[in-house]
Structure 1
Amino acid sequence: MRIDKFLKVSRLIKRRTLAKEVCDGGRVKINENVAKAGSNVSVGDIIEISIGARNTKVKVLGVKENVRADQATELYELL
């Protein structure tokens, strides 16, 4: 799954267009490598997101096309 879509589906970033801008701005890393919006994410990957003063690091636990809002946190684990 594309990283921009994963960020939106997991509700780490609310809108896919914002997720795409953040990725293309070099503020997202997958396993220590800078990720573009089209980079693939899979189970076990470590994602680092830097937006402003907020830094978030998560481990991917699942990849699904659609989930309900209350199930979104099951897709990742905060590190």
Structure 2
Amino acid sequence: MRIDRFLHCIRLLKSRTLAQSLVEEGHVRIDGKRITKTAEEVRVGSVIAFPLHDRIRILRVLSLPDRRGPATEARTHYEELGVDEPKPAT
């Protein structure tokens, strides 16, 4: 499944266009490798890291969604490995 479609289907981004721009700007990593093409494939077991709302989200893909369903269904497709909190300004 394409990375832009995956991020949209699991309801972390409101549109595929937002997901595409995040990828094209080079902010997304799959298994530690920076990607810039929206057609990059995501597979079960992949680890995805990307910035979202001033935090770095790190997810493991558990399954690939067939559709953009409700939030409860979307959360079953990934496991949150961590969220890097922003450092407070001093």
Global fold match (TM > 0.5): yes
TM-score for both structures, normalised by structure 1: 0.92
Quote the offset at 1:64 in angstroms.
Answer: 2.0
* Whole-angstrom CA distance in 2 between matches of 1:51 and 1:67: 19
Unaligned runs of 5+ in 1: none
The 5 A counterparts of 1:10-29 are 10-29=10-29
TM-score for both structures, normalised by structure 2: 0.82
> Any idea what the Cα deviations from partners look like across 1:10-66, whole Å, max 9, x if unmatched?
012111000000000011000001122110000000000114621100000000221
Q: Displaced runs of 4+ in structure 1, greater than 6 A?
A: none
* Whole-angstrom CA distance in 1 between matches of 2:54 and 2:68: 28
Q: How many residues align?
A: 79
Q: Is the 8 A contact 1:27 1:51 kept in 2?
A: no
Structure 1 vs Structure 2: percent identity of aligned residues? 35
* Whole-angstrom CA distance in 2 between matches of 1:25 and 1:65: 26
Unaligned runs of 5+ in 2: 82-90
Structure 2 counterpart of 1:78: 80
Q: Is the 8 A contact 2:11 2:68 kept in 1?
A: no
Structure with higher Rg: it is 2
Letter paired with 2:4 = D
The 5 A counterparts of 1:1-79 are 1-35=1-35, 36-51=37-52, 53-69=54-70, 70-79=72-81
